């Protein structure tokens, strides 16, 4: 187990980006994220992360759902907390990059629920099931 894990997630275009006919410049293969330069600058930069989530288009076969993100990140953190470890999950990025959606999502929608409400549900479920 590594003490720090880094995950990146590509979000869908927002309405402004769609209106401006924006084109994606990021691709993901496994845990490698590649950025292709635009505007005539075709240099590429590739980065490896512990997790790379493609959430750009729900129709893509490798689309990463809220559940997948939680299963990969939140479940392990909850388990470590019950083992007595301090854990922290935080989202970092510019305004509109999808941090709140990943962390909270839509708490009353099972499919769109983010890491925090899923983790809280499982936390209270475990506490309720534990008779010790």
Residue given tokens 């927002």 in the structure block: 14
Phi-psi region of 51 (alpha: psi -120 to 50; beta: other; left: phi over 0): beta
Strand partners, 52: 8
What is the arrangement of strands in the sheet containing 32-36, beginning at the earlier edge strand?
A: 26-29, 32-36, 44-48
Q: Is 125 annotated as a binding residue?
A: no
Q: Is 106 annotated as a binding residue?
A: no
Residue 67: exposure state from Cβ atoms within 10 A (0-12, 13-18, ≥19): middle
Residue 5: exposure state from Cβ atoms within 10 A (0-12, 13-18, ≥19): middle
Q: Is 96 annotated as a binding residue?
A: yes
Q: Is 100 annotated as a binding residue?
A: yes
Q: Is 95 annotated as a binding residue?
A: yes
Q: Is 99 annotated as a binding residue?
A: yes
Q: Is 97 annotated as a binding residue?
A: yes
What are the binding residues? 93-100
What are the binding residues for ATP? 93-100
């Amino acid at each position: 187990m590594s003490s720090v894990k880094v995950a990146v997630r590509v979000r869908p275009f927002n309405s402004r980006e769609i209106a401006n006919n924006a084109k994606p410049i990021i691709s993901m293969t496994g845990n490698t994220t590649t950025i292709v330069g635009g505007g005539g600058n075709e240099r590429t930069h590739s980065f490896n992360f512990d997790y790379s989530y493609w959430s750009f288009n729900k129709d893509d076969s490798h689309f990463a759902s809220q559940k997948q993100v939680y299963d990969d990140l939140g479940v392990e953190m909850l388990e470590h907390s019950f083992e007595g470890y301090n854990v922290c999950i935080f989202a970092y990025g510019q305004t509109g990059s999808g941090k709140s959606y990943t962390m909270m999502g839509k708490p009353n929608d099972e499919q769109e629920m983010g890491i925090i409400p899923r983790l809280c549900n499982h936390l209270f479920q475990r506490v309720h099931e534990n008779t010790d």
